[in-house]
């Protein structure tokens, strides 16, 4: 039996992971499940999957979690240190699907016991790519990308040499506002941004798709994970979301990865790797699909893409600043304190303001990553004119 843990089990990726695990129940022993504030769902999952330990993000919720699990014999705990303690328990496979920079440290701890870290949490690579990769190498752990585009690239590179790659093309649906007139974007609300044309995902990543901050993070993620130069990585708008990535090789040949827009494919690939298991996703009917379309992204509509290129040029800690500022700007947008276009403007202001802080220094120390993340968030709050908030790594 394989020992597995799922961090962020109550979220969109976490639930899809458990859906797959539930179909091969006898193959797995669940070590830990962790969630945020949805105690009812976390307790339900724990009763079904019988983990050794179940952890909620906030210590204040532990009493409710213990009450919900009374008589089951399942250990329950809460708070950041309890999540890290759960991450330290040895597993063969761990899903990192906590949202945002908060997912970085549990992932780093999990890497220390080796095995596979299935990485949905792209923020880990954006904030501290070198630290993640170094930790994996030091402990002979394997990081498998779960982001659909990166899983697609990983699959296309199977049996290939990275040095033969000429370019990477990662696709973007274009999100909720792909076809809106640019003039309307300033008035866009969080509810409008949180509807996705193709993928079914958590609220925040769906809004990040509309602003292309999600794709901006993915550019940086691809650069950090595959070690390919920023100039060789392109974004292609592909409204059908069926081609997830295309890898172009030195001889002009291209390998495209095509699949349904269902995250269970990428999760299942990571779960069954290096084999391929039977994953219950739709089998595509190309004759019925008929055609696939592609277009270049417009960087005036989506300034986040331009900012991501600047961040990759600076390198080092710029990714942590970019992500921290983005997360905080998104908090303000969801709370209705700033407009849709203000998010990119705020992130750019933070990057400019912190540009003198030697951001090019390698992101190799967690404390430094944490400090610049907090500074970026505080600056966003200052620009928006609200009391300095919390959250972050």
Q: Which of residues 141 and 216 has its CB atom nearest to ligand NAD in the complex?
A: 216
Q: Does 331 bind Mg ion (CB under 5 A)?
A: no
Q: Which of residues 8 and 319 has its CB atom nearest to ligand NAD in the complex?
A: 8
CA distances from 101 to 156, 333, 346 (A): 28, 18, 18
Question: Is the separation of the CB atoms in 383 and 389 below 8 Å?
Answer: no
Q: Which of residues 215 and 377 has its CB atom nearest to Mg ion in the complex?
A: 215
Q: Which of residues 61 and 327 has its CB atom nearest to Mg ion in the complex?
A: 327
Q: Which of residues 107 and 145 has its CB atom nearest to Mg ion in the complex?
A: 145
Q: Which of residues 42 and 354 has its CB atom nearest to ligand NAD in the complex?
A: 42
Indicate which single residue of 110, 127, 205, 376 sits in contact with ligand NAD (rule: CB under 6 A): 205
Q: Does 211 bind ligand NAD (CB under 6 A)?
A: no
Q: How far is the CB of 327 from Mg ion (least distance, A)?
A: 17
- Please choose which of ligand NAD, Mg ion, none residue 57 contacts, taking the beta carbon within 5 to 8 angstroms, the exact cut-off set by kind: ligand NAD
DSSP annotation of 384: H
- Please choose which of Mg ion, ligand NAD, none residue 13 contacts, taking the beta carbon within 5 to 8 angstroms, the exact cut-off set by kind: ligand NAD
Q: How far is the CB of 123 from ligand NAD (least distance, A)?
A: 5
Q: Which of residues 147 and 224 has its CB atom nearest to Mg ion in the complex?
A: 147
Q: Spell out the residues 6+ positions from residue 228 whose beta carbon is closer than 8 angstroms to its own.
A: 162, 165, 168, 222
Q: How far is the CB of 273 from ligand NAD (least distance, A)?
A: 17
Cα–Cα distance measured from residue 82 to residue 85, given in angstroms and rounded to the nearest whole number = 5
The per-type count for the chain, helices as H runs and strands as E runs, is 16, 11
- Please choose which of Mg ion, ligand NAD, none residue 5 contacts, taking the beta carbon within 5 to 8 angstroms, the exact cut-off set by kind: none
**Closest C-alpha to 54, from 110, 39, 297:** 39
Indicate which single residue of 98, 212, 304, 376 sits in contact with ligand NAD (rule: CB under 6 A): 98
- Please choose which of ligand NAD, Mg ion, none residue 259 contacts, taking the beta carbon within 5 to 8 angstroms, the exact cut-off set by kind: none
**Which residue has 């404390």 as its token pair?**
367
Q: Does 102 bind ligand NAD (CB under 6 A)?
A: yes
Q: Does 12 bind ligand NAD (CB under 6 A)?
A: yes
Question: Is the separation of the CB atoms in 307 and 344 below 8 Å?
Answer: yes
Q: Does 11 bind ligand NAD (CB under 6 A)?
A: yes
Indicate which single residue of 135, 188, 201, 329 sits in contact with ligand NAD (rule: CB under 6 A): 201
Q: Which of residues 56 and 359 has its CB atom nearest to ligand NAD in the complex?
A: 56
Q: How far is the CB of 181 from ligand NAD (least distance, A)?
A: 28
Q: Which of residues 56 and 321 has its CB atom nearest to ligand NAD in the complex?
A: 56
Question: Please, what is the Cα angle at 47 between 46 and 49, to 5 degrees?
Answer: 60
Q: Which of residues 31 and 248 has its CB atom nearest to ligand NAD in the complex?
A: 31
Question: Is the separation of the CB atoms in 55 and 76 below 8 Å?
Answer: yes
Q: How far is the CB of 88 from ligand NAD (least distance, A)?
A: 16
Region near ligand NAD per CB under 6 A, out of 84-92, 194-202, 234-242, 337-345: 194-202
Q: Spell out the residues 6+ positions from residue 244 whose beta carbon is closer than 8 angstroms to its own.
A: 148, 149, 151, 152, 170, 171, 257, 258, 259
Q: How far is the CB of 373 from ligand NAD (least distance, A)?
A: 13
Cα–Cα distance measured from residue 223 to residue 385, given in angstroms and rounded to the nearest whole number = 34
Q: Does 147 bind Mg ion (CB under 5 A)?
A: yes
Give residues 44-73 in contact with ligand NAD (rule: CB under 6 A).
57
As given in the structure block, the two tokens for residue 285 are 């009917």
As given in the structure block, the two tokens for residue 225 are 């994970």
Residue 112: how many CB atoms within 10 A of its CB?
A: 14
Question: Is the separation of the CB atoms in 157 and 165 below 8 Å?
Answer: yes
Residue 228: how many CB atoms within 10 A of its CB?
A: 19
Exposed / middle / buried, residue 213 (Cβ in 10 Å: 0-12, 13-18, 19+) = buried
CA distances from 83 to 53, 268, 327, 336 (A): 10, 24, 21, 31
Indicate which single residue of 35, 129, 248, 315 sits in contact with ligand NAD (rule: CB under 6 A): 35
Per CB under 6 A, residues contacting ligand NAD are 8-14, 35-36, 57, 83, 97-99, 102-103, 120-123, 147, 199, 201-202, 205, 263
Site residues (vs Mg ion, CB under 5 A) = 147-149
């Amino acid at each position: 039996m394989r020992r597995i843990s799922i961090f962020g089990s109550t979220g969109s990726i976490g639930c899809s992971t458990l859906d797959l695990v539930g179909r091969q129940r006898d193959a797995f022993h669940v070590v830990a499940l962790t969630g945020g504030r949805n105690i009812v769902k976390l307790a339900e999952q724990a009763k079904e999957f019988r983990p050794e330990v179940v952890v909620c993000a906030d210590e204040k919720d532990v009493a409710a979690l213990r009450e919900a699990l009374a008589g089951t014999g399942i250990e329950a705990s809460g708070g950041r240190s309890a999540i890290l303690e759960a991450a330290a328990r040895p597993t063969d496979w761990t899903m990192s699907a906590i949202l945002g920079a908060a997912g970085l440290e549990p992932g780093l701890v999990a890497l220390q016991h080796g095995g596979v870290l299935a990485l949905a949490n792209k923020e880990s690579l954006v904030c501290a790519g070198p630290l993640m990769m170094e930790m994996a190498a030091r402990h002979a752990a394997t990081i498998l990308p779960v982001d659909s585009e990166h899983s697609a690239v990983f699959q296309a590179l199977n049996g290939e040499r990275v040095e033969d790659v000429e370019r990477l093309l990662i696709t973007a649906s274009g999100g909720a506002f792909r076809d809106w007139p640019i003039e309307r974007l300033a008035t866009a609300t969080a509810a409008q941004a949180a509807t996705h044309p193709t993928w079914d995902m958590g609220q925040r990543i769906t809004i990040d798709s509309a602003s292309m901050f999600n794709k901006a993070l993915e550019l940086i993620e691809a650069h950090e994970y595959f070690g390919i130069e920023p100039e060789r990585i392109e974004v292609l708008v592909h409204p059908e979301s069926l081609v997830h990535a295309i890898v172009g090789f030195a001889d002009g040949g291209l390998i495209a990865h095509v699949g349904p827009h269902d995250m269970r494919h990428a999760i299942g690939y990571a779960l069954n790797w290096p084999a391929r298991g039977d994953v219950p996703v739709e089998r595509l009917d190309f004759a019925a699909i008929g055609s696939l379309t592609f277009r270049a992204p417009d960087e005036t509509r989506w300034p986040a893409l331009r900012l991501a290129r600047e961040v990759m040029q600076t390198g080092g800690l710029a990714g942590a600043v970019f992500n921290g500022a983005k997360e905080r700007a998104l908090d303000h947008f969801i709370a209705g304190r700033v407009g849709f276009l203000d998010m990119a403007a705020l992130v750019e202001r933070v990057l400019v303001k912190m540009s003198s802080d030697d951001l090019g220094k390698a992101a190799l120390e967690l404390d430094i990553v944490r400090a610049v993340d907090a500074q970026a968030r505080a600056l966003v709050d200052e620009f928006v004119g609200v009391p300095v908030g919390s959250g972050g790594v």
